């Protein structure tokens, strides 16, 4: 594992715990020698985690669509900043550059990005780990909803189990390192069912 893609809010969130977690996770990535791949902006938690990695001497690769360079205030101090034509190319490039995906707290954009790579894993488009950094139980309601989709027969338990979840950056990175992708893809018959 060389690079981790982090999806997170373009807002700072209502409480300081979120920025603290972004700084801690940035520091943990740099300490582990892992590059950060992210949306390339300077706003919200995105900017906080990028600055934390850079301050700790790590590498940061940003990928931002042309239209958002002003809105999300494209970060000018990154190791690499790729300005791409649109959101689709942003997401594709971020996915290609990273060896693992982590969602920190964020809004609709963060959730959309998380669900895209999570569902791509289910469909077998990639075999990289997908994770939630569950800062201060932020993702508990989402985790409960995902369990509900399994209980109600809309998702295989294997895919719920494949999701890496931890509140602590170092423990989460450890899970990513030891990740084994599920053997099945979504449409293969499951002998255990």
Contact residues for ligand AMP, defined by CB under 6 A = 9-11, 39, 41, 68, 72, 87, 91, 106-110, 112-113
Nearest CB to ligand AMP, comparing residues 99 and 113: 113
Nearest CB to ligand AMP, comparing residues 95 and 164: 95
The alpha carbon torsion through 47, 51, 54, 60 (nearest 10 deg) reads -10
**Closest separation between CB of residue 40 and ligand AMP, Å?**
8
**Closest separation between CB of residue 158 and ligand AMP, Å?**
26
Nearest CB to ligand AMP, comparing residues 30 and 50: 50
Residue 154: other Cβ atoms inside 10 A: 9
**Closest separation between CB of residue 41 and ligand AMP, Å?**
6
CA nearest neighbour of 4 among 187, 164, 193: 164
SS3 content of the chain, % helix, strand, coil (to 5): 45, 15, 35
Nearest CB to ligand AMP, comparing residues 138 and 159: 138
Residue 85, Cα to own-chain centre: how many angstroms?
A: 22
**Closest separation between CB of residue 53 and ligand AMP, Å?**
16
Nearest CB to ligand AMP, comparing residues 8 and 156: 8
**Closest separation between CB of residue 61 and ligand AMP, Å?**
14
Using Cβ positions, the residue closest to ligand AMP within the complex turns out to be 109
Q: Looking up tokens 């201060």, which residue turns up? A: 136
CA nearest neighbour of 25 among 17, 92, 192, 118: 17
Q: How far apart are CA 98 and CA 54, in angstroms?
A: 18
């Amino acid at each position: 594992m060389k690079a981790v893609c982090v999806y997170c809010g373009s807002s700072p969130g209502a409480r300081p715990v979120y920025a603290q977690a972004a700084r801690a996770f940035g520091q943990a990535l740099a300490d582990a020698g892992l590059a950060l791949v992210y949306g390339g902006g300077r706003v919200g938690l995105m900017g906080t985690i990028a600055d934390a990695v850079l301050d700790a001497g790590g590498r940061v690769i940003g990928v931002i669509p042309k239209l958002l360079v002003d809105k999300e205030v494209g970060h000018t101090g990154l190791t690499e900043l790729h300005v791409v034509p649109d959101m689709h190319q942003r997401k594709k490039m971020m996915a290609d550059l990273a060896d693992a995906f982590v969602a920190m707290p964020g809004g609709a954009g963060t959730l959309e990005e998380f669900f895209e790579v999570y569902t791509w894993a289910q469909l077998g488009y990639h075999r990289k780990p997908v994770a939630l950094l569950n800062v201060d139980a932020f993702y508990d309601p989402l985790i409960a909803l995902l369990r509900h989709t399994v209980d109600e027969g809309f998702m295989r338990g294997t895919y719920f189990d494949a999701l890496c979840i931890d509140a602590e950056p170092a423990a989460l990175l450890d899970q990513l390192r030891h990740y084994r992708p599920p053997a099945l893809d979504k449409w293969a018959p499951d002998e255990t069912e």
